[in-house]
A and B are shown apart, each in its own frame.
Chain A
């Protein structure tokens, strides 16, 4: 954790920057520790101890701007580092739009860093043997695997338990001072199985929690094995238009391009398919995405962004209408847009048409279609919204799984896809920072 001595050093660096000729500066000190215990086939395979610290400084001098970082935090090293940084800034071209955010937009409520209640004191009580135990108990190799099809064997299981502590402290020359601390307990596992004919299938699962008491990795291994087994015998389905249900663990893949397109950097460059969309209905009126960064105890909650600007709860898209761009201080100057936070902090896509829908419910709603359980490669053209992704999953009929499919592509345009939203589940994973449940769309092009 960041100490009072380190906080004093950070403030002293602001003074150094001023003495060297900087008109303004923002300094961010980040410290983290992490212990990782990796297993291979149920035995400890790797033990890693990580301890990181970085001091980032955003410098403004003579109407110019530069960004610098160092992990050598001794006082004299930092003085030399800042001297060199100011000299570098003075060699760049002036940019009138570079400035610190207005004081009134900045966070004033993150004083201790623990306001979001995602720092668990239990972290400090975990010792090496507890970590080993957590990793070994989560592993499934050598254990009875209920539901494993006949002739199928587990070839390999790689698991990793980790716990970490993260602490960030931000100050600037206009008096900003805020802090955010969090802990995280994580487990991820990747398995490879082999069927009777020697074909291999791999899959993974993971979980995470900011609190030890809520951390439960016991189902991860078996979930990964079941997901791998579900792919046995997968073949492409016939090419054509299908209803598409996207599982909650991968559905954020279809939301991230929208959020990126709402970022002022993309908009300013003309490299966004949502240019000119603010205040307009461009998606299905069933679609609402809220930003919910202030939920205490929840993964991803945070009171300020990297500029120290206070986060805000509210709609990003409401009934298909774009309500918010993401505009940092620099881009606000360049574009004339009102400044906001720099990106969505903890977006949640609201369930539709009922609050209780999950993946199975959406499949029933669709009747027939393809359930996408994983994406494999692909891309989105940010300027047009055209996309093409490799997928694997399950063909379903009458709301029931029929057979696995793989080596298929789904192609389309994001504006069209989201206009064809027919359902959104409330089954998002609480351990994720984007709270996107299962999704259902009509008339989606699949080829295979």
Chain B
């Protein structure tokens, strides 16, 4: 497990010496070594004529003094450079003596791996796979005028060491396929973006994935061309299982991150242990979903990943913690200390955020309950104001619901609401949880890979923007 020490050219005594230098300025010091090689191949205009690789290498040194952070990094991992970085990070403050950080328990087996390592990839074979993907899309529909397909993959070798003498190591694959297809019908243009992302090796590039992506790229395309903006207003919204989980991530998940609560900024900072939504609803942030984009063996502070119930049976039961917030609240870290790269200090971040299946029947049951509303099939993106909880989500495609039936297709609308109120206004949860494996990336200060999921849900009183 400690093979990555050799990769970074240092010995354990040297790691101890660097940490000893850093901790002169605080109560805690940790080191985060990373070597990531990113690769990409791009298909455009029928040919894979662009590609490359990008090497990122270095080490971040963090010193904590109470809740205060000193951070420095070096793109060279020679001993003296890291001693200098430790001194810079250690300049944060004197020792506070207030940090009590528990040793991390042993991690379970990794929730990901590579049967076929990306390092052994034949790029011509990968290019052929992208060409098959384009052909599959064009075979399903005659209207695409452009297809752009990007295959990107990275393998990160991570080594973490801290002032508790804990040494952890991980190898994290992350591979994504994203397709942008542009369809023409007369003068009208429709753009489809579909993607899949996993922590897997090359074995993920099979015919089944081609079929999945191609099917999704052309799904209900006639309806998209026919779709219009509906008349706006306040109405009930049925959200489809899967990608609608971005609503949980943006409108609720961020407000459950412990840093926002520790600083008093979140609307949930005084709601721990209280009912915040209907009985039976469970909301989870999970780093253990196999091969999931948000899965982690350890978080970026060396804490083993876990499945964390934020809301259990409608009651707020846990925030998402890094080591700083866990120490502040006097609880164990939840494995949510994450960072974009060695250039950033870890902060509480989500992994795979989802709601468990409910007991309110099927998607059709939910739709049949709505007299007038909107069914959202696919969200594009969303944004939330943490303090107020106000959110806005863009709907790529959906349908009007009239008297319990789907009628006119709609597109290019926003749904706005307030996180806590929307959570409280969930009136039905179907039993069809689906985790969405798209290329979700969370941008709170730093970019990290996440995923989301949700069963079909019915929410009352959301504002739908329209004509």
Contacts and interface: CB of A to CB of B under 8 A. Distances in A.
A92 B191 contact: no
Contact of A200 (B67, B189, B387): B387
A53 interface: yes
A200 B91 CA distance: 34
B338 to A, nearest CB: 16
Contact of B189 (A158, A192, A270, A410): A270
B366 to A, nearest CB: 24
A376 B385 contact: yes
B21 to A, nearest CB: 14
Contact of A411 (B67, B232, B345): B232
Interface in B237-287: 263-265, 267
A389 B393 CA distance: 9
A192 B262 CA distance: 13
A51 B233 contact: no
B85 to A, nearest CB: 7
B89 interface: yes
Interface stretch (A64-72, A101-109, A144-152): A64-72
A92 B49 contact: yes
A236 B464 CA distance: 13
Nearest to B58: A71
Contact of B88 (A49, A390, A409, A445): A49
A40 B345 CA distance: 16
Interface stretch (A170-178, A358-366, A380-388, A434-442): A380-388
Contact of A64 (B49, B92, B180): B49
A378 interface: yes
Contacts of A66: 50-52
A269 B148 contact: yes
Interface string A195-230: 000011110000000000000000000000000000
Contact of A388 (B68, B189, B190, B465): B465
Contacts of A84: 53
B47 A93 contact: yes
Which of A48, A81, A384 counts the most chain B CB atoms within 10 A? A48
Contacts of A122: none
A399 interface: no
A407 B182 CA distance: 32
A406 interface: yes
Given A269-B146, A270-B145, A68 B53 contact: yes
A448 interface: yes
B416 A65 contact: no
B394 A49 contact: no
B118 interface: no
Contacts of A382: 191
Contacts of A390: 383, 390-392, 414, 416
A356 interface: no
A223 B360 CA distance: 48
Contact of B73 (A50, A158, A236, A447): A50
Contacts, number: 221
Nearest to A376: B392
Interface in A365-408: 376-379, 381-384, 386-390, 392, 406-408
Which of B52, B124, B232, B233 counts the most chain A CB atoms within 10 A? B52
B444 interface: no
Interface residues on A, range: 35 or more
B74 interface: yes
Interface string A60-94: 00001111111110000000010011001101111
Contact of A270 (B93, B146, B382): B146
Contacts of A334: 45
B85 A376 contact: no
Interface in B398-419: 412-414, 416-418
Contacts of A406: 388, 390
B393 to A, nearest CB: 6
Which of A53, A65, A91, A377 counts the most chain B CB atoms within 10 A? A377
A377 B191 contact: no
A46 B68 contact: yes
Interface string B134-160: 000000000001101000000000000
Contacts of B182: 269-271, 383
B146 A45 contact: no
B128 to A, nearest CB: 11
Which of B55, B70, B180 counts the most chain A CB atoms within 10 A? B55
Given A384-B189, A407-B463, A411-B465, A45 B68 contact: yes
B463 A236 contact: yes
Contacts of A69: 52, 54-55
Given A69-B54, A390-B390, A46 B70 contact: yes
B184 interface: yes
A47 interface: yes
A271 B345 contact: no
A47 B69 contact: yes
B467 interface: yes
A95 interface: yes
A71 B75 contact: yes
19 contacts: A46-B68, A46-B70, A50-B72, A68-B54, A72-B57, A84-B53, A92-B49, A156-B263, A269-B146, A271-B180, A376-B383, A376-B416, A377-B414, A382-B191, A392-B390, A409-B414, A409-B465, A411-B413, A447-B463
Interface of B: 41, 45, 47-58, 67-75, 85, 88-89, 91-93, 123-124, 127, 145-146, 148, 180, 182, 184, 189-191, 229, 232-233, 263-265, 267, 343, 345, 380-388, 390-394, 412-414, 416-418, 463-467
Given A40-B67, A390-B414, 17 more contacts: A44-B92, A49-B72, A49-B85, A53-B75, A98-B49, A239-B233, A377-B384, A377-B394, A377-B414, A377-B416, A384-B412, A407-B418, A409-B463, A411-B229, A411-B414, A411-B466, A447-B233
